């Protein structure tokens, strides 16, 4: 097999996905207008993800992050153990 064919087989799916994402974003832009993307922090899961942000919504600021505010359901509260 030629090296060019192998490279095309490897790069092909990525190129198709990139073109699809570009078309999808262009169609969204035509229907909804300009979008503002940024990081959003989910306190229930303790994760951040990139998403469209509403005009009045707050963005995630890593400097304001306090790990103590994370609600981890797997970590038990010491106060709950003494009440049992």
DSSP three-state, residue 41: strand
Sign of CA pseudo-dihedral 59, 62, 65, 71: positive
Predicted structure pTM score? 0.50
- Do 46 and 56 lie in a common domain? yes
- What residues make up the domain containing 58? 36-84
Per the CB < 8 A criterion, the answer to whether 40 and 60 are in contact is yes
What is the overall mean pLDDT for the chain?
78
- Do 24 and 52 lie in a common domain? no
- Do 41 and 63 lie in a common domain? yes
- Do 24 and 41 lie in a common domain? no
- Do 41 and 79 lie in a common domain? yes
Residue 28 pLDDT > 90? no
Residue 47 pLDDT > 60? yes
- Do 29 and 42 lie in a common domain? no
């Amino acid at each position: 097999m030629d090296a060019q064919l192998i490279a095309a087989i490897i790069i092909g799916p990525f190129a198709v996905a990139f073109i699809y994402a570009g078309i999808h974003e262009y169609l969204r832009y035509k229907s909804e207008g300009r979008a503002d993307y940024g990081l959003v922090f989910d306190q229930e899961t303790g994760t951040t993800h990139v998403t469209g942000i509403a005009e009045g919504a707050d963005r995630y600021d890593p400097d304001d992050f306090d790990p103590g505010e994370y609600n981890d359901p797997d970590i038990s509260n010491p106060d709950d153990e003494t009440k049992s």
